[in-house]
A and B are shown apart, each in its own frame.
Chain A
Amino acid sequence: MANLKIGKFEVSPQSGDAGSTQIGHKLTERHTGRNKYQKLIRASITNPAANASAIETLEIGGLAPFLTLNTSQTEVAYNVTNATINGVSNASKFRVSSTGKTITLVTNTGYTVGGNEGTFTNGFGEMAEGSISIKVQFASNNSNAAETIPVKVEYYNGSTWAVAATHNIIQSSSDADVTFVITPSTLTQFANTGGKQQVSINSNIAYSIELQGDTETTWVTLSRQSGTAGTASLDITAAAQAVGAAARELSIKFKNNVTGSVIGTLAVTQAKGEDFAISWEQDTLTFTNDEVGTIKNNTLTANASWYLEENI
């Protein structure tokens, strides 16, 4: 007997004979949305003349709202005045605050801003968790000591505000005798098909290069991980996005080999993957009773794995 896939469920057996039959139900993946997930299954007598069916409801309760951050800290150069904090959530809104330097929540993809509160796009998190990118702004650090900005991120759990985590933004000190210039100073957004961009780096000190900013950085590769005084190029290569993947970003940090402070940053962003797509060649097929046993073919075209389920 074959299994029947209905959304996040598998049901087996899919058919049987007269009598009482135990039907097994398996949940095949987590439901991460805060709303209830529901699917209906129709069991029907095989003989069409019977015109008898029974509908079963399968449900998964909503997951309590949550918000988690991908990393606990971000390092930026003394003159960098904004940072993006990435994470995952199914909440409807969030807010940020700092007990250190003043921060301002600024608009970014996926939410709107009211004061220090961000409201996710309507419908976000209801049926599935999603990636979030919280962008905050702050003043540059012109002192000779690094500054830590503790950004407390809270989310709305449906009745009250709950603390998600505190993300430390470490802003390096101003170092007057260091010359470090990246040309061009920004990268263009990578297409979802991936690609390569090159920058030229002029420095009067030795430095290291690393990727920061998210849990997953393997989609970016660098042509080198360190540099010496002088001018040299750096190739940045982004891999292709998977179908349906969200936009992503990370930061390349250039650090002083002696002090460890960040002397330059370069943001790497990539467009979201190709949207899922699926279509039938013909959207209606009609059988007459003269066509019992006749097989009619219809082409289903999709750009990723797919399955069929009855809409009830």
Chain B
Amino acid sequence: MNFNGFEITPQSGEAGANNISISVPAVNESIDKVIEIDGVCGDKTSRLTLVHEGLRQRYISADGKVLCTSDGGRYGVLKKKQKIVNQLRLAIVETFMGLGKFVNADNLGGTVSWDYPVASDVYVFVTMESEGDVDETALYLFYAGEKESSQTKYVGNFISYRLEPAEDETFIYEVIITDLR
């Protein structure tokens, strides 16, 4: 059976210990895909979380221009940047500051919302400066997400890469938002 991109066999069975085979049939070119599968037995359920890691592998091997660093590896080698959507800058910065996403180095998911129309996936580059020196640069990826009925509020998933500022340092965040399409 295919459950949202995961092949899982069998889908049902009898009492006892059952071997469940799980695979992913294709490369995930998107962000991490996470689904939850419930095993149901009478009135009891047991939940299995399946993760198919996405994007990060795709951008490791591009054209050699490193745009951000991460946990020992290098990510975010992008081939093109077509336009800057300046009006998103402030909202995004405020969102980052509000969510404090720089704190947890392993935080690879979450949701964010902003009040501007986002027509497609958006990449955000964040440069962190400390005492005038560029400390680290990170890539944030926003997915356009689903439009709500108001047509003004958008909610999407984002993936963040590792940045580890010391707690007592002051940082300046410079955000450039790039629509890659």
- Chain A interface residues toward B at CB < 8 A: 2, 4-5, 7, 14-15, 42, 44, 46-49, 51, 53, 243-244, 275-280, 282-311
Contact = CB atoms under 8 A, between A and B. Distances in A.
24 contacts: A14-B1, A14-B2, A46-B25, A49-B27, A49-B28, A51-B30, A51-B143, A286-B51, A287-B52, A287-B53, A289-B27, A292-B27, A297-B22, A298-B22, A300-B17, A303-B41, A305-B12, A305-B13, A306-B15, A306-B39, A307-B39, A308-B8, A308-B37, A311-B38
Interface string B86-115: 000000000000000000000000000000
A309 B40 contact: yes
A283 B40 contact: no
Interface of B: 1-5, 8, 11-30, 33, 35-54, 57-58, 143
A292 B21 contact: no
Contacts of A244: 42-43
Given A46-B2, A47-B26, A301-B16, A308 B40 contact: yes
Nearest to B50: A285
Nearest to A53: B4
B40 A310 contact: no
A244 B41 CA distance: 10
Contacts of B52: 48, 286-287, 289
Overall SS of chain B's interface = strand
Given A49-B28, A292-B25, A308 B1 contact: yes
A280 B18 CA distance: 10
A244 to B, nearest CB: 4
B16 A302 contact: yes
A261 to B, nearest CB: 43
A293 B27 CA distance: 9
Contact of B54 (A48, A277, A301, A303): A48
Nearest to A6: B40
Given A244-B43, A283-B48, A288 B53 contact: yes
Contacts, number: 185
Contacts of B24: 48, 287, 291-294
B12 A277 contact: no
A307 B41 CA distance: 7
Given A288-B57, A293-B25, A299 B17 contact: yes
A44 B4 CA distance: 6
Contact of B13 (A286, A295, A306, A310): A306
A278 B51 contact: no
Given A2-B1, A48-B29, A305 B41 contact: yes
Contacts of B20: 297-300, 308
B27 A278 contact: no
